Structure 1
């Protein structure tokens, strides 16, 4: 060990985008165990391309763990987390076959994320089940004539733009409660994206607040009429995509005293869980700031540094959140990829660069440290 400490056992609970990156950083120095309900990275990013171009989306956002070179030294446990014992320093995992495994740790990183809509659910799945889920959603949407997208965040805008772009013959409408969509982005972002939606023929309907269905389920595509608490007549469409930002943290397995009143993990500025020097949290599950933006802002590097610093008795660094969301909104389009800075100004990767520069060199090699073909 470069810092003179012995290798420790670290459990990374949750292997989404942030969990994988955290595990890759830590595995260079310590014994890492990752726990995941999925058999690989099934990203929550770019929902618009996921539902309209699943083959292209699979290539970059659905990647089995065995293809990540940085995870070669990580032991992955495929199962659902069911419990944490902070005193004994153990987590409990239930596999698909019902077997229960107890994993001990010297440090625990909680990165189990949130559930949100049909595309982000903590369901234990096999490779075949992930593929079948992608195909069934795509086939359903491809067969309909009209689509209503409910919500004003990036996922809703992405879904509306991509459905309209891939299937120009469909009637696509976007409904959201405020005066503008993307309220957590800089206002410039919405003004820019709105022009794209207009070119694509998407109907844009501000001031519409949907009534949640009687069964409370918004994690599936529905076909029933949508009613509005803001006074408009009910809206009918062949398929209704709910992207209303009704996120729920995947923290049922954690003791209540680690959570805030919404169920997110309470953390200090150095991403340690309140009162637990050996437990950290990062990503959407961590209550770092109102936007819980640590995943978007690459806090995987910070939390990995702090875990190792805690072992060596070195000072820990603080996470400094951004006040606005930023990044891609509608994903890769025929004219390239637009990424918005926190000040709302766009930067475009030209279309030719996506497959020749961005994905192979910046993402696969630079960020993930190598992904096998």
Structure 2
């Protein structure tokens, strides 16, 4: 039996929030799996592939643009700092192809060389691109730090700021910018009668009061005409035009957070994708028609909200990967009807978290840096993070 078969290999394509957590679950204890009917066993060989040299989270956009130093401490973490990844091999590169017959992915590494990574099980978690803060571009730590500084400086220099969009990213951006710079004119434009349409209606009622308290001017019923090309992939200058007939809006800086997501699936064969380019999955998050491929996170067509990342499907996928290797029972994913979690991020009075039924509870400000981040997130969820911070 070959050495490769003696160490089953799991390749995780995409090491954002979902991919990272899946890798941590699989690496925990490196629990052995049977290799044959004879009962021989081996630990799992885990390979993570990422276009970034660390976890660059897509969460809490408002804090990212208004307080990048605070955001970087908790959401921009090098892979070498995760104790749970010590026995996981990470590849810094861009995914360019998948051969399902040969069970291998092709990667162009940061030195421009191309390598093939074989797998026994593949986990697809490459996410989506969405605005300036979620792009699949191959970046170094210095590139990311420059992006964070540039965006913050652009907004700091603006007198008036228009935020376009009705989802959590837009709401968070408007609120945090207004909270950090109370003298700026901050306008939030969204297409419906209320924002946060994916959340329970109770959430918007509470968040709207907070926005108004920060002095954000709300403009419901405004559906923007998107600029051509990559116009929404950076901080714009306007004017913003509306398909709903209102006069154009002008601002020194325009934050596009309209939810025009595009899945990072150009490297995948067409038979894995639905009509919108997302990965088709069954109720166990296995890719339809492919026994040894899974998908989770924003890239997976699980439900209309594609909410598997928020609902901790990383645990389920890790279980199902092991079940696939050892011939066990695979669990089913059950999506929620509403989004849940934080909307505004940490504020001066703490962190408000909303449940799927729209009810909120607040963690006091003192608990964020003393309990939540060091104990619940870094030690509990991330299995231990070494102290070190990126300079922003």
TMscore range, shorter length: over 0.9
Could you say what secondary structure the match of 1:93 adopts? strand
CA distance in 2, matches of 1:306, 1:341: 27
The partner residue of 1:42 within 56, 59, 62 is 56
Q: Alpha-carbon deviation of 1:27? A: 1.9
- Within 5 A, what are the aligned runs for 1:22-41? 22-28=22-28, 29=30, 30-41=44-55
CA distance in 1, matches of 2:18, 2:245: 41
The partner residue of 1:254 within 268, 271, 277 is 268
Cα deviation 1:99-120 (Å, max 9, x = unaligned)? 0010000000000000001000
- Within 5 A, what are the aligned runs for 1:225-304? 225-304=239-318
> Which consecutive unaligned segments of at least 5 residues does structure 1 have?
none
The partner residue of 2:334 within 304, 320, 338 is 320
The partner residue of 2:217 within 198, 203, 210 is 203
Match of residue 66 from structure 1 = 80
CA distance in 2, matches of 1:114, 1:159: 19
Q: Alpha-carbon deviation of 1:315? A: 1.1
Q: Alpha-carbon deviation of 1:97? A: 2.1
The partner residue of 1:212 within 207, 226, 232 is 226
Match of residue 169 from structure 1 = 183
Question: Is the aligned partner of 1:371 residue 2:385?
Answer: yes
TM-score (norm 2): 0.93
Question: Is the aligned partner of 1:152 residue 2:171?
Answer: no
Q: Alpha-carbon deviation of 1:56? A: 0.4
Q: Alpha-carbon deviation of 1:6? A: 5.5
Could you say what secondary structure the match of 1:343 adopts? coil
Match of residue 132 from structure 1 = 146
Match of residue 94 from structure 1 = 108
> Which consecutive unaligned segments of at least 5 residues does structure 2 have?
31-43, 388-392
Q: Alpha-carbon deviation of 1:216? A: 5.1
Match of residue 118 from structure 1 = 132
Match of residue 80 from structure 1 = 94
CA distance in 1, matches of 2:131, 2:182: 24
CA distance in 2, matches of 1:38, 1:338: 30
Q: CA RMSD in A?
A: 0.9
Q: Alpha-carbon deviation of 1:213? A: 1.1
Question: Is the aligned partner of 1:343 residue 2:357?
Answer: yes
TM-score (norm 1): 0.98
Moved over 2 A (4+): 214-217
Question: Is the aligned partner of 1:17 residue 2:13?
Answer: no
Could you say what secondary structure the match of 1:118 adopts? helix
Q: Alpha-carbon deviation of 1:7? A: 3.8
The partner residue of 1:181 within 192, 195, 209 is 195
Q: Alpha-carbon deviation of 1:25? A: 1.1
CA distance in 2, matches of 1:243, 1:333: 20
CA distance in 2, matches of 1:214, 1:335: 40
The partner residue of 2:344 within 324, 330, 348 is 330
CA distance in 1, matches of 2:203, 2:308: 20
Q: Alpha-carbon deviation of 1:95? A: 1.4
Could you say what secondary structure the match of 1:269 adopts? coil
CA distance in 1, matches of 2:276, 2:22: 25
Question: Is the aligned partner of 1:358 residue 2:368?
Answer: no
Could you say what secondary structure the match of 2:10 adopts? strand
Q: Alpha-carbon deviation of 1:40? A: 0.2
Q: Alpha-carbon deviation of 1:32? A: 0.3
Q: Alpha-carbon deviation of 1:217? A: 2.4
Q: Alpha-carbon deviation of 1:224? A: 2.2
CA distance in 2, matches of 1:112, 1:230: 34
Q: Alpha-carbon deviation of 1:156? A: 0.1
